[in-house]
A and B are shown apart, each in its own frame.
Chain A
Amino acid sequence: MHTSRYIVKRIILAAVSLFAIITLTFFLMNLMPGDPFMSEKATEENRAILIAKYGLDQPVYVQYGKYLINLFQGDMGTSYVLQKGRAVKDIIFESFAVSMQLGLKALVVALICGIVLGCISGLCKDKLPDNIIRVFSSLGISMPGYVVASGLMIVLAVNLGILPVTYNKPGGEIMPIITLALYPTSYLTRLTRASILEVMNQDYLRTERAKGMSEFVVVFIHALKNSLIPVITYLGPLTASILTGGFVAESVFNVPGLGRYFVTSISSRDYTMIMGVTIFYSALIVVMNLVCDILYKVVDPRITLD
């Protein structure tokens, strides 16, 4: 098969888009007013020294060239502000490990709950379970993360006192996982429901019944496999975003993950961190999409990878 050739082609394409993202981000970032040292309680002179030390006084294209050269050597520089002096690479890997651990759990929760609830909802169309699931999935999709996070915190941690407020206590993972998983669970529920409803009317299920297959085989082997195809499409971006952690979930519950850095690196003009986080997230999305496309091919033989 041409699968290996396809993968190579996709990797080259991915490198091109990554390069475009790096370039765009670098120049846009430099268009922002301010610099990493504007909040330093230092005299004008000292700030000028710092700026010169990091080479930020040079023309932007020179900085860009230097950054690229360093990047190709695997050096993403050191953080200017957030964790001053530490290598960006180390910060990303350390915080990503936390986000990923949390994200994987949330992903598993979302996948299992979303698909199971979607199936129940689709198979009981317009009956009571379907109506209840539809109300909650609509709620889950429309509630912003900070409402979910603070709502959970008020009810479960403050009022009932059954879960700790912060992440590093025992059981502290539960609320961030719920916060991270709620939206994808609800979305997957609706996606699976719609997909199951469409598949249940397909002729090939009638063929299966006419062959004497049990309803279990008809629904859980033939209908389910067919209805998961659209779900796989959503899986790529979902995995990337859930693994890198949500800004809200991590901020509210004080999780030392990567998600927080997306926002804080920008507001503090920590140039090397902005670049590092952006490159990492883009690469993750590209890889996840590629994995999804290959998974697509595994599930659906009609797909050709060309």
Chain B
Amino acid sequence: MKQKEVLLEVKDLSVSFFNKTGEVQAVRGINYTLHKGEVLGIVGESGSGKSVSSHAILRLTPDSGKVKSGEILFEGKDILKMSKKEIRELRGNRIAMIFQDPMTSLDPLFTVEYQMNESLKKHTNLDAAARKKRIIELLEMVGINQPERRAKQYPYEFSGGMRQRVMIAIALSCDPQLLIADEPTTALDVTIQAQIIDLLKELKDKLGMAIIFITHDLGVVSDICDKIIVMYAGKIVESGEKRRIFYQQQHPYTKGLLASVPDVDSDVSEKLKPIKGNPPDMSTLKPGCAFAPRCNCAMQICVREEPPLMEMEEEHEAACWELLKDEVNK
């Protein structure tokens, strides 16, 4: 296998939110590497820090939040140390983003053409006519019929799926090297979900960009991702190549997530298998493994000390004391 070029390196990233009651540690020291053209899935429940960690890549953390520590190296340069101007050059140009709710992600008072033109005007040297041509091309590429007519319409004249296609067209307008897709299918109907995933897959093969795909739906990641990171309570609990996560998962939380996905072939009378309990309150985290209170195989050490991420085999890591049971018991 040829050596892949590193595109993005996230090192020891921590993000916290501050409110009247104190600090909420949304992301607690995560590390990962993304290579060019790779698709990384970040999976976790609501509040696991998956969106927060990805918004930090574009420095889109809301005002109440703060990146406490870490480095985000994009092609070797630390995004967190960039000036506002440099970061704006990056946004929408080299790194683009699409969001969860296409119904609210476009400005209702401007035409689709205007909103697409904005980023082209900022990031490219194309003249007005060339930009217009590019807009039509992009809309065609994301599967919007009659692009000339549709470009002049307002967001309210598009359905949810169509709006997400417009969002994708905007994101891809300047040929980004990295696309961050923050739950892009969550707000859509199942059939539309599949269409959007297929579109992203197709465009990824065509344009060769890397994608960070954030979702809570394992079915979605299985379709599109090369690598998967499972997050729980602001930490990575397991990460690895897609097949390893699906067939040789080690962390009890990953096991629980996979077990909770309903199987089409299973008996209808079979009940869903949820993971019992709730995610922890991130403002009052106790020492030890954050998943321990919900874990079936929790040991004494699990409530005392936090397990480190351990490499199981090449490109497969998990953070669980169970994996070191023999040594722990010694």
User: Which residues of A are in contact with B by a Cβ distance under 8 Å?
Assistant: 202-204, 206-214, 217, 222, 225-226, 299-302
Contacts and interface: CB of A to CB of B under 8 A. Distances in A.
A210 B106 contact: no
A203 B93 contact: no
Given A211-B122, A213-B122, A302-B156, A226 B91 contact: no
Interface in B83-106: 88-93, 96-97, 99, 101, 104-106
A219 to B, nearest CB: 13
Interface string B278-300: 00000000000000000000000
A222 B96 CA distance: 19
A186 B154 CA distance: 33
B167 A207 contact: yes
Nearest to B173: A211
B109 A212 contact: no
A213 B88 CA distance: 7
Contact of B90 (A204, A212, A217): A212
Contacts of B88: 212-214
Contacts of B202: none
Contacts of B167: 207
Nearest to A214: B88
A196 to B, nearest CB: 15
Contact of B92 (A204, A210, A222): A210
Given A203-B101, A213-B118, A226 B107 contact: yes
B104 A301 contact: no
A211 B170 contact: yes
A301 B109 CA distance: 6
B17 to A, nearest CB: 15
B106 A204 contact: yes
A240 B107 CA distance: 32
B119 interface: yes
B107 A222 contact: yes
Contacts of A225: 109
Interface of B: 58, 60, 88-93, 96-97, 99, 101, 104-110, 118-119, 122-123, 154, 156, 167, 170
A204 B107 contact: yes
A210 B58 contact: yes
A94 to B, nearest CB: 42
Contacts of A212: 88-93, 119, 122-123
28 contacts: A203-B99, A203-B104, A203-B105, A204-B108, A206-B60, A206-B99, A207-B167, A208-B107, A208-B118, A209-B60, A209-B91, A210-B92, A210-B96, A211-B91, A211-B92, A211-B96, A211-B122, A212-B89, A213-B92, A213-B122, A214-B88, A299-B109, A301-B108, A301-B109, A301-B154, A301-B156, A302-B154, A302-B156
Given A203-B101, A301-B154, A302-B156, A211 B106 contact: no
Most A CB contacts (10 A, CB to CB) among B60, B101, B110 go to B110
Given A203-B99, A211-B91, A301-B156, 15 more contacts: A204-B105, A208-B107, A208-B118, A209-B58, A209-B60, A210-B91, A211-B92, A211-B170, A212-B92, A212-B93, A214-B88, A222-B109, A222-B110, A226-B109, A301-B154
- CB-based closest 4 A-B pairs: A211-B92, A212-B91, A212-B92, A203-B104
A230 B96 CA distance: 32
A213 B122 CA distance: 8
B185 to A, nearest CB: 16
A78 to B, nearest CB: 51
Contacts of B156: 301-302
Nearest to B91: A212
Contact of A300 (B99, B104, B108, B170): B108
A301 B115 CA distance: 15
A229 to B, nearest CB: 8
Contacts of A217: 118
A210 B167 CA distance: 11
